[in-house]
Amino acid sequence: MSHYFPVYWKTSAGAECSGYMNSAGKLVADFPHMRVSVLNNERAFFADGSRWENGLLLWGVMDSRGHAITPPRFTSFKPFSEERAVASDEHNPTLSFKFGFLNEAGEWAVMPTLIGAYSFSAGAAYVQREPSSSLWHLIGKQGELLIDKLSSAEAH
């Protein structure tokens, strides 16, 4: 299901639904009463609307069949890329998130200690560690430092 696109609609009764559509416009999976993210690496984030923390909707990780891998507990995320997803599980009202990287099992591959993070590309990701610094670092999939102290970073 990696080439499917998330779609959203409301039923005639007003219930919110989501699912995935293929490039021919055919609905291939629907998940009533849920929101889903982009599906990459056979993984996506979902929210069923039942879990909120400090006004933030909580998201979980699911597989391509809609089976939950983790319950909704993440407040912020980016879609999976190269078997990793940027996520935060902080529920603080100041919105000063700390980011880490999840593996496909929904476990932390890189603990959420980062101030900023881009998705993985070509086996590496740009991250920012210190809030008072504008420097970026390039890390590998286990969090190992590849290049230190870059003055700028761009997503690719």
pLDDT (tens, 9 = 90+) of the chain, 156 residues, equals 457 888 988 888 888 888 899 889 998 888 877 889 988 888 999 998 878 887 888 999 999 888 999 999 999 999 999 999 999 987 665 657 899 999 999 999 999 999 999 999 999 999 998 877 888 999 999 999 999 988 766 665
> Which range marks the domain in which residue 53 is found?
5-150
Looking at the domain assignment, is residue 156 inside a domain?
no
Structural domain contains residue 71: yes
Residue with tokens 């984030």: 45
| Count of structural domains within the chain | 1
CA atoms of 51 and 56, how far apart (whole Å) = 9
In a domain, 96, yes or no: yes
pLDDT score at 49: 80
pLDDT for res 93:
58
Q: Is residue 155 part of a domain?
A: no
Task: Count CB atoms within 10 A of the CB of residue 23.
Answer: 8
> pTM for the whole thing?
0.83
| Contact residues for 120 (Cβ-Cβ < 8 A; gap 6+) | 81, 82, 83, 84, 101, 141
Distance CA 110, CA 83 (A): 12
In-domain check, residue 63: yes
pLDDT recorded at residue 106: 95
19 belongs to a structural domain: yes
Q: State residue 94's pLDDT score.
A: 60
* Cα 63 to Cα 46: distance, rounded to the nearest angstrom: 10
State the pLDDT at residue 15.
Answer: 80
d(Cα 105, Cα 10) in Å, to the nearest integer? 31
Q: Residue 88: inside a domain, yes or no?
A: yes
Strand partners, 8: 18
